[in-house]
A = this chain, B = another copy of it.
Amino acid sequence: MRTDLSGRRLRAGIVGGGQGGFIGSAHRIACELDGEAAIVAGAMSRDPAIAQQSAHAWYLDRWYGSFADMARIEAARDDGIDLAIVVTPNDLHYPVAKAFLERGIAVVCDKPLAHSIDDARALCALVASCGEPFALTHTYTGYPAVREARERVRQGELGEIRKVLLEYQQDWLMTPLERTGNKQAIWRTDPSRAGISGCVADIGTHAQNLCEFITGKKIVALCADLTSFVPGRALDDDANILLRLEGGGKGTLTCSQIACGDENALSIRVYGSLAAIEWHQQEPNTLILKPAGRPWERLRSGAAALSAASRAASRLPPGHPEGYLEAFAQLYRDFFADMRRRARGEALRGGYPVAEDGLRGMNFVARAVESSRHGGRWVNV
């Protein structure tokens, strides 16, 4: 851990992110957007040529052929990185995170937390013991409207939580794209690389995390029906799941990557005994509040009517739309604040998804797969 973070931008290094997907660039933009950090080093591919090219394309000062080299060398430099960003395939999340955390370097890691539950548990333990800040990028928790929804629940405005309706529909896998050479499709539909689940692990967990983030209630039981609609596909590309929450709430989670015409339709509705809220990721600056017996209210990100917690996550005046990258940047902004706190010897405040949330997500996937394999029976989470 470096303690000289004051008065300067933080220095970040990235592992992975060198190829086709958009997520590497999204991390770069999100990390740098608020001017609090700059990416200065990268181990962006196992292939040295690609690693060099990728770093060059981003005008990075330093590039590495392996994450191990980067961890070792950067930890030793006076101007070495303060944090590492992990954007590798899932099976590397744990070893890469470990390499940096053990050298006192904070870590921001893509979901899932690890390739196996065991690794996930080990990583949780490591994070707990080393004390370094660790964030898992459930991006959607960074939206001002999502923060507002959480505040409204926390303030008791919804009353008792009775019902949640969670959705995450996409259509990009509605054809056998994995047989056309599409890299994203290939690894996400391959059990040896993606793990035991496709759709539930890839996007269902975002909905599960969002639910728990907003309601503050854990999902305690589920009954799942997973399907592979595209012939020949080994992993689920669609799921319908019944949920039970702590405290008696019920709900459904439906996710799909074969939902024709839907781009990235994540949404959540929470019905309480006093009010309900509704949010759609594709129109992220609006939160619908439905108080019992009164007209619906349209809460707009950044507006004076919102809580301070939510307004702190807006950069622009109301009516100037912010989107996915700004939500992503909000996770980084909260994370950087914690890094600076730690450097000053203060306690972390969190507010972003952490390792334990990643473990919960992996358990959720495991239980959903188990339920479905047994013909759709109820299992505890």
Contacts and interface: CB of A to CB of B under 8 A. Distances in A.
A337 interface: no
Size category of the A interface is: 35 or more
A259 interface: yes
Interface in A105-141: none
Contacts of A281: 319, 321
B223 A225 contact: yes
B263 A250 contact: no
Given A263-B318, A272-B260, A240 B229 contact: no
A28 B9 CA distance: 14
B275 A271 contact: no
Given A28-B35, A33-B33, A317 B22 contact: yes
B250 A225 contact: yes
Interface string A151-170: 00000000000110101001
Contacts of A243: 240
In the complex, the count of this chain's copies comes to 4
Contacts of A171: 292
B319 A322 contact: no
A74 interface: no
Interface in A245-293: 250-252, 254, 256, 258-265, 271-276, 281-285, 289-293
A128 to B, nearest CB: 32
A256 B272 CA distance: 12
A274 to B, nearest CB: 7
A73 interface: no
A372 B165 CA distance: 19
Nearest to A171: B292
Given A225-B250, A283-B283, A303 B261 contact: no
Given A59-B35, A271-B260, A305-B295, A322 B320 contact: no
A299 interface: yes
Interface of A: 7-9, 22, 25-26, 28-29, 32-35, 56, 58-59, 162-163, 165, 167, 170-172, 174, 223, 225, 227, 229, 238, 240, 242-244, 250-252, 254, 256, 258-265, 271-276, 281-285, 289-300, 303-305, 315-326, 375-378
